[in-house]
Chain A
Amino acid sequence: MTNLNIPISQQDILSLHAGDSVTISGIATTGRDAAHKYMVETLLNSGKTLSAQDRRLLDELKSIYNGGMIYHCGPIVRNENGKWRIISAGPTTSIREEVYEDSVISGFGLRVVMGKGGMGSRTLAACTKNKAIYVHAIGGAGVTSAEKMVEVLDVFKLEEFGLPEAFWKVRFHNFPGIVTMDAHGKSLHEELGREFDKNLAELLEG
């Protein structure tokens, strides 16, 4: 088990391999479909001058993500006397962000993308090129995941994206996961997928 602390160094990432268990601590954000579309189409690639508000968020996200993590998650968050608390927050399916993630990794300097189900060849290539990893969180484990998201520090785009889709800036403490795509070009999903295909072919023979 390796404990990663944000900001995470290139050396830490290179020491990890697909199949390793990790825990992650430090400040990161959640972000899913609306967040990825916004980051790529508005913040990174719009080709237009950003509004002051977008500019501020771009800077804020850059400072969080440089050496840091984005978590594919649409949490349940409760406001208790003006203070937000994460209630249930397991991972959502990552592959929906496949078309965006390589730009996000390189544009923001991410070291960790966390979610569930794994991602495709574009993200895997971006992980190798930018020294980043994909971490598989525990799908369905909403409550125990939320308990590792110990403090809500801020929220961005809450009104516009809605509660599940907003960027929740959170302090993580020993959040557990499994590296399934590493910075050496290996994907556990690809490797296991070949084994599943072989097993299926055997069952369907004859």
Chain B
Amino acid sequence: MIDNLKKVLSGPIFGEAVFDLIRRAACDLPPDVESAIRKARENEAPGSRAQEILSMYLDNIARAREKQVALCQDTGLPIFIIRHPLGLSQRKMAGLCEEAVAKATKVQYLRPNAVDPVTGKNSGNSVGPGSPVFYFEEADADSVTVHLMLKGGGSENVCTQYSLPDGTLKAGRDLEGVRRVLLDATRKAEGKGCAPGILGVCIGGDRSSGYNHSKHQLLRRLDDVNPDPVLAGLEGRVLREANTLGIGPLGLGGKTTLLGVKIGSLHRHPACYFVTITYMCWECRRWGITIESDGSWRYIE
């Protein structure tokens, strides 16, 4: 099995599949996100500015899909999450993904988005140290799954991390404290991250694992239910309450401030209690594929 997968990695299929994954992530918004925007439009007051903006979002989604061009000019930072069985080379897979990213940039599914902060030079092909981002996980599986998320810069700029307790917000080291900082973060983000957004949240972990884990929450479908009933309850409550803030699409007022709240947790050091929030814009661009050992591949939810 593993030898067959190794062969697949040596041929053109893996790169072709990842290239198509990039195209789809850039041009085709996942159905759960589009459906959430459609619902939000129905929920806004008829003829309101919020409803008008959401209609323009839906129009953009349809046009991008039809023309197969990038939904947003900021095609984001590509983040790959790859689950694979024991015995495959991660360096090899990363190399193939980088080649696919460069190719996708050349044909403009992606904008060149990798800039050297020291020299100020844009690498021109979206590839450079730290770009794209890779997370590898070993899994008991006969196939490789590759998830891709395109994370825009505007929404990345409003991500934040709280260290509890927070005196100003009266947020203690408990789930009520988490609720308070999540609402505060939503208020501070306003429309700046292209509202209505989705909060990926990690309670606990260290400063870096918190961000990683909060990003991973954004792979979850908007209509899923958190298997942990306590976190499921918190997700529902924060979503409901955030949507009474009045921020609305683009931060210009309305009932839809967030499309979803997805919370995970990691064990924490006794001295630390971090709540980490990754804000995803309304254009939550993510897709996944499975590549089988016979070289066939398909899209997955």
Contacts and interface: CB of A to CB of B under 8 A. Distances in A.
Note whether A and B form a binding pair. yes
Interface of A: 19, 21, 73-76, 78, 87-90, 92-93, 95, 116-118, 136, 138-147, 162-164, 176, 178, 180, 188-189, 192-193, 195-197, 199-200, 203-204
Interface string B62-100: 011001011111110000000000000000000000000
B35 interface: no
B55 to A, nearest CB: 10
A141 B53 CA distance: 10
A163 B252 contact: no
B246 A199 contact: yes
Interface string B228-271: 00000000000001001111001111000000000000000000
Contacts of B169: 204
Interface residues of B, number: 46
Contacts of A176: 56
B271 to A, nearest CB: 26
B173 interface: no
Contacts of A118: 251
B133 to A, nearest CB: 20
A22 B191 CA distance: 20
A192 B252 contact: yes
13 contacts: A74-B73, A74-B111, A76-B111, A117-B251, A142-B69, A142-B70, A142-B74, A144-B59, A146-B73, A196-B247, A204-B169, A204-B170, A204-B184
Nearest to A200: B187
B122 interface: yes
B250 A138 contact: yes
Contacts of A89: 73
B111 A164 contact: yes
Interface in B180-194: 180, 183-184, 187, 190-192, 194
A193 B170 CA distance: 21
A119 B250 CA distance: 14
Contacts, number: 141
Contacts of B157: 93
B250 A139 contact: yes
A22 to B, nearest CB: 13
A19 B250 CA distance: 13
A204 B57 CA distance: 31
Given A90-B72, A203-B245, 19 more contacts: A74-B73, A76-B75, A87-B69, A88-B64, A93-B157, A117-B190, A138-B60, A139-B154, A140-B57, A142-B72, A142-B74, A146-B73, A162-B124, A176-B56, A192-B252, A195-B253, A196-B245, A199-B245, A204-B180
Interface in B151-185: 154, 157, 169-170, 180, 183-184
B108 interface: yes
Contacts of A178: 49, 252
B282 A192 contact: no
Nearest to B60: A141
Contacts of A162: 112, 122, 124
A142 B60 contact: yes
Given A76-B70, A78-B108, A143-B71, A93 B183 contact: no
Which residue, of B53, B247, B250, B282, has the highest number of chain A Cβ atoms within 10 A?
Answer: B250
A116 B250 contact: yes
B73 A196 contact: no
A5 B281 CA distance: 32
A52 to B, nearest CB: 24
Contacts of A117: 154, 190-192, 251
B56 to A, nearest CB: 5
A193 B252 CA distance: 10
B244 A143 contact: no
Which residue, of B56, B73, B75, has the highest number of chain A Cβ atoms within 10 A?
Answer: B73
B251 A142 contact: no
Contacts of A197: 187
Nearest to B247: A196
Contact of B246 (A141, A143, A192): A192
Contacts of B281: 139-140
A76 B73 contact: yes
Which residue, of A141, A146, A178, has the highest number of chain B Cβ atoms within 10 A?
Answer: A141
Contact of A76 (B49, B60, B108): B108
B112 A147 contact: no
Closest 5 CB pairs of A and B: A141-B60, A88-B73, A142-B72, A139-B194, A162-B122
